Structures are given as C-alpha cells and as structure tokens.
Amino acid sequence: MNLLHTQSLVNNLSDSTLIIDSTALIDASKSEDFLKLLTDIAKAGCAFVTINAVIHEFTRGAKDIAQLNKQIQVINGLGIIVYPRLEDKIDKKDQVFLFAYNKTTIGNRSEKGPSYIDSLLCLLAYKFKHTGIKILSANHKDIPLSIFNRDELITMDISGELRTEAIYSFSEDKFKPLIDDI
C-alpha cells in the first residue's frame, strides 16, 4: 500500500473547506494514489482553497510546457479556488494573530520565522476559523501545535521516499492563552 490514512477521512471532510499548501499539490502531482484521495475528498463535497503564492510555488519549477500543463490540470481537476490577495485584507485582529503566530513559530528556529506562504495559510485558517476550515500541508514546522490541532496524517510512498501530509485546524483553546500573554 502506497497511501495510509484514516478510512473515514473522505467522509470526515465532506462539506468542509481545506486550504491546500504547495506541498500537497507537489505530492498529488507525483502520487496517483494521493491525487485520487484528494479527488474523492472533493467529490464528497469538500471545497479546496489556496492563495496565489501557493500556485506560483507549485508551478515555478516546471521544466517545460507539458509539465506546466500537467500541474495546471491538477489544480483545475481538484477545483481549487484561489483566494485573492490576503495581504490586502489584514486587520488589527489579524496583526495580533500574526504576531502570536510568529512569536510561537520563531521559538522553534535559530534564526528566522516561518515561511511567508505558510504564515498566510495559517492566517487564512484563522480568519475563517468559524467555518471549520482546515489546512493540508507537509510543512509541519510552520504550523505550530501551540495554535493548531493536527487532525489527520496522510502518509505516502513516492518513489521510495516517505512523505507525510497533515490536516490541521485552528484551536481557539490553544490560541487564547497566547493572546493573554501578549
């Protein structure tokens, strides 16, 4: 078996929204099993969203037009909705979230904080937390468990390399104490 996940995953994500990171798109382009799982999740009623920067990160390494077209097919086949410039919609609450997020995440690193794209994906999850939105990513160090719950692991074998994507959800219970300390 080249793909391991909870058997109820597809049903658990029906009628939900999943923020897709570039890691998931890269893995889906390399693993037919993972792409099929994502397709099944979409068919169950889960909406996929992302930001322009993720699309750019996923497609920037295309070696030729054929590969670029294949990558665009993955995006279009999953029906991914691209959220418009999130950076233009940051309010005071968002700034407080980003401050707490960066402070928490930087503690795990010696020099720099989380990636810009992962910061925006986490902000998107925060902004729409009331909808139950979740993030799908393999960038585990940039989605701190001090703010998010890790709800699911999806492990796959891609050409002999083990890859693990995870589904994360924002946790108000974890986040509130961070705000109280600011």
pTM for this one?
0.92
On whether the 3-180 domain is CATH 3.40.50.1010, my answer is yes
Q: What is the mean pLDDT of each run of 10 residues along the chain (182 residues)?
A: 88 95 96 96 97 95 94 96 85 88 71 84 94 95 93 94 96 87 68
Pairing mode, strands 161-170 and 134-137: antiparallel
pLDDT number for residue 100 = 87
Could you state, in order of their start, the residue ranges of all structural domains in the chain? 3-180
pLDDT number for residue 67 = 94
